[in-house]
Amino acid sequence: MNILLKSVKLIHGKSKEFHLKKRDILIKNGIIEKIGTDIDAPSKAKIIDHKNLHVSLGWIDTGASFGEPGYEERETITNGLDTAARSGFTDVILNPNSFPLPDSSSDIVFLKNAGKGHLTNIHPLGNLTVNGDGETLAELYDMKNAGAVGFYDFKHAVSNPNLLKIALQYAQNFNGMVLSFPMDTHIAGKGNVNEGTVSTKLGLKGIPAMAEELQVSRDLFILEYTGGKLHIPTISTADSVKLIAAAKKKGLQVTCSVAVHNLFQTDEVLEGFESNYKVLPPLRTSKDCKELIKAVKNGTIDFVTADHTPLNIELKKVEFENADYGTIGLESSFGALNQLFTLEETIDILTRGRELFGIEIPEFKEGAKATLTLFDPDPEYTFTEAHIASNSKNSLFLGHTLKGTVLGTIANDQIHINI
């Protein structure tokens, strides 16, 4: 396939030659053949010429759920990857959130095979423990060899500290990444939302910030003892940021992420009891949001994830306390981040993460494989169901103003165009 991108502005802070410059880009058979000005289109080339067309290296999301196998009514792998491509993502790290859970090498092989042939690459996480029960380590080494990029009991804390210790020690033998969800379940109890003024006013059971911070503190203490690589997904409090910053100063191999909605919204939106705002970790306070945004900018928080969690309507259109946790987020990630950060910061956030998980990093140069995202950063719009490509529609961003639209993606000698 031949593609000619006309007069595109490149956003790529690591390229002194091309950053913020307008160029034509000729792509032949999935390879960037030429970068220049006023390139003539070869015969039968697909020409993309759009006002205010911007391009960056392809985006990656470090934590999305689909559903297949077992929960295909929520989302299939095919539609999930198509949604990711439409949303600008050329790589997605897949959370272990299916039935059965992926806790063996054969499960990882199934997921890798199901993702073949798509524009967006799938990189599965395997479960840390068998059946996600938190009791027995799963086949970590075999799953790593099958293509797992890390090990995580999705949204379940490793309550047994000795199990986390053993996992970190064992995974060092093959450079494995261990993920630990930051919540002490004994402190969290039956809480549904952030514990504070809003939860008291609404009569909802709260999850105190301490539930997260105790777990983070414990995990970092264990990491300091064992060594190894620990990733703490979706932190949500200001003091978690401080704990992780201090650990990094000590030289510990710890990274962390935050969900985009924990940057975008606070618990004040809960007053309408809208179940789409029920997420885990819960929406916190404006103080937490400010500190989390600051930590993304200074690099203490390594990644921002959509934390994309499709849920069918029966799990959301119920009383708030009975609703499941989760929101979809792939379709709204760019528009939300672009409201909170500068364009250059937004693109840096969306392209971070591959090196940590051992994923090939794309390049922008002649002769490199074309792995690109096309977008217009300027339009502001109200996010509605018309913008949702997921099978499930449980979006926390419905009705909110976002900025910037994805125009297309190019990867694996395929192109997806939204214009």
Alpha carbons 363 and 372: distance in angstroms, whole number: 9
Q: Which ranges of 37-175 would DSSP assign to H, the alpha helix? A: 77-86, 105-114, 140-146, 161-171
> Contact, 164 vs 155, CB < 8 A?
no
Give, in degrees to the nearest 5, the angle at Cα 164 between 93 and 185. Answer: 85
The residue type found at 2 is N
Q: Which residues, 6 or more positions from 377, have their beta carbon under 8 angstroms from its beta carbon?
A: 52, 54, 338, 343, 346, 403, 404
> Contact, 122 vs 160, CB < 8 A?
no
* Residue 271 DSSP label: G
Please state the length of the chain.
419
* Residue 41 DSSP label: P
Whether omega before 281 lies within 30 degrees of 0, making that bond cis, reads yes
Catalytic site residue from 82, 307, 378, 413: 307
The residue type found at 12 is H
Tell me which residue of 343, 333, 327, 353 sits closest to 13, measured CA to CA. Answer: 343
Helices 77-86, 105-114: inter-axial angle, 10-degree rounding: 50
CA dihedral 333, 339, 340, 343 (to 10 degrees): 90
Give, in degrees to the nearest 5, the angle at Cα 362 between 7 and 62. Answer: 110
Is 82 tagged catalytic?
no
Q: Which residues, 6 or more positions from 365, have their beta carbon under 8 angstroms from its beta carbon?
A: 32, 35
Give, in degrees to the nearest 5, the angle at Cα 318 between 317 and 324. Answer: 85
Residues marked as catalytic: 307
